[in-house]
Amino acid sequence: MEHVILGLLMIQSQTLYELHQSFTRGISLFYSASYGSLQTALKKLLDKERVACEELVENGRLKKVYHVLPQGREEFFRWMQGETPGHKLEVAALSKLFFLGHVEHALDKRSIVAEIMDKLEQELAGLEQMERELVGGEVPERYRDIFRYQLLTLNYGLGAHRYARDWFGRLREEL
């Protein structure tokens, strides 16, 4: 979440309320955040000196506006160009895609997309191996209905990973 916050603050400085609205208006399609989780992440970023906070009084009310520091920008770009984690792959890949416009050079963008594709291929290979191990095995009668729906869930995952791989492949070619 910290990297997503950095990406949003690189677009413009924001209050906690505005950050929450930014999540609600766009990022919530693939990443959700409560006020509490945003506050916790902002505190960590402040403690690590990745962001700073300016307190203003507006209409008689105290307003805290957060903005990115140079160390925060550096950390953000390290994350963008770093390895995409296999757990919650879809969220991580879409988060990087959402902020790909922050990356200046087309070759760097292409490299980030290629790394995401490599991770998708690895995860897909693991799911395909699981499918090979499960299909054709003997399932006791009393578990067949349960197994059927578990296998359908695996099939959904396979389809989603294949779609994502193909979609990111088309994007890589565009870049």
State which of 49, 81, 113 marks the end of a domain.
81
Do 25 and 94 lie in one domain? The reply is no
Is residue 30 over pLDDT 90? no
Do 102 and 70 lie in one domain? The reply is no
Closest CA to 65 of 83, 99, 81, 42: 42
pLDDT (0 to 100) of residue 47? 96
pLDDT (0 to 100) of residue 137? 76
Q: Which domain CATH number covers 68?
A: 1.10.10.10
Is residue 23 over pLDDT 90? no
Q: What percent of the chain has pLDDT over 90?
A: 73
Digit-coded pLDDT (tens) for 118-127: 999 999 999 9
Is residue 84 a contact partner of residue 119, using CB atoms and an 8 Å limit?
Answer: yes
Which range marks the domain in which residue 142 is found?
87-175
Backbone region of residue 49 per phi and psi (left: phi > 0; alpha: psi in -120 to 50; beta: other values)? left
pLDDT (0 to 100) of residue 77? 97
pLDDT (0 to 100) of residue 80? 97
pLDDT (0 to 100) of residue 153? 93
Collect all residues with Cβ–Cβ distance below 8 Å to 165 and sequence separation of at least 6: 117, 120, 121, 124
Do 74 and 111 lie in one domain? The reply is no
3-state SS assignment for residue 82: coil
What is the residue type of 91? V
pLDDT (0 to 100) of residue 117? 93
pLDDT (0 to 100) of residue 95? 94
Model pTM score: 0.86
Is residue 99 over pLDDT 90? yes
Confidence of residue 33 (pLDDT cuts 50, 70, 90): confident
State which of 36, 60, 81 marks the end of a domain.
81
Confidence of residue 160 (pLDDT cuts 50, 70, 90): very high
Confidence of residue 58 (pLDDT cuts 50, 70, 90): confident
Do 72 and 95 lie in one domain? The reply is no
| Domains in the chain, number | 2
